[in-house]
């Protein structure tokens, strides 16, 4: 069986969080902002992207890995972008072993950030933070 996609699992995890839903609704996306959402920007939403990661247990035969993700909280103003990011930050900091679809997420720890800035290409308000997320490589 294929290794479960941890980004898909993290998107589902954040969409299930009450404060994330309050801040961003269902607008939590993996990898990139969908083109049909980009035309509505700036708006409150979250994008989670794989961002490399530490060299850890993934090099052994143990079916477990630590991936680094970037969490981008967007908003209509720098303040709303901060609020959106903080909702994702709080949810990830409270992550305990959780099954999302076929994936098992163990925990998340802050790896860097937050950094308050504007999207490099389009100047949308954004807050960026990085997390190391422990995940199973075995479908459950």
pLDDT of residue 43: 94
User: 5-23 pLDDT, tens per residue?
Assistant: 999 999 999 999 999 999 9
Domains present along the chain, CATH in parentheses:
6-136 (3.30.2000.30)
Tokens at residue 50, please?
Answer: 């794989």
Q: Is residue 126 within 8 Å of residue 73, measured between CB atoms?
A: yes
Q: Which helix (H) or strand (E) holds 112?
A: strand 103-118
CA gap 41, 33 in Å, rounded: 10
Q: Is the pLDDT of residue 52 over 90?
A: no
pLDDT of residue 57: 56
The predicted model scores a pTM of 0.93
User: 87-138 pLDDT, tens per residue?
Assistant: 999 999 999 999 999 999 999 999 999 999 998 777 899 999 999 999 999 9
- 21-36: average pLDDT: 96
- 66-92: average pLDDT: 97
CA gap 26, 41 in Å, rounded: 15
pLDDT of residue 140: 87
DSSP secondary structure string, 38-74?
HTT-S-SEEEEEE------GGGSSSSEEEEEEEEEEE
User: 35-46 pLDDT, tens per residue?
Assistant: 999 888 999 999
H helix runs in the chain, sequence order: 6-15, 18-24, 35-38, 78-93
Q: Count the alpha carbons within 13 Å of 138 in the hemisphere toward its beta carbon.
A: 5
Q: Is the pLDDT of residue 58 over 60?
A: no
């Amino acid at each position: 069986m294929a290794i479960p996609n941890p980004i898909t699992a993290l998107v589902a995890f954040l969409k299930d969080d009450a404060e994330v839903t309050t801040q961003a609704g269902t607008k939590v996306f993996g990898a990139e902002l969908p083109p049909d959402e980009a035309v509505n920007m700036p708006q409150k939403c979250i994008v989670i992207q794989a961002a490399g990661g530490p060299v850890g247990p993934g090099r052994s035969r143990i079916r477990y890995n630590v991936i680094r993700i970037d969490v981008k909280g967007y908003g209509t103003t720098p303040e709303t972008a901060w609020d959106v990011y903080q909702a994702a930050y709080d949810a990830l900091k409270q992550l305990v072993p959780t099954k999302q679809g076929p994936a098992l997420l163990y925990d998340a720890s802050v790896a860097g950030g937050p950094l308050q800035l504007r999207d490099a290409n389009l100047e949308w308000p954004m807050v960026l933070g990085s997390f190391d997320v422990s995940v199973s490589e075995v479908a459950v």
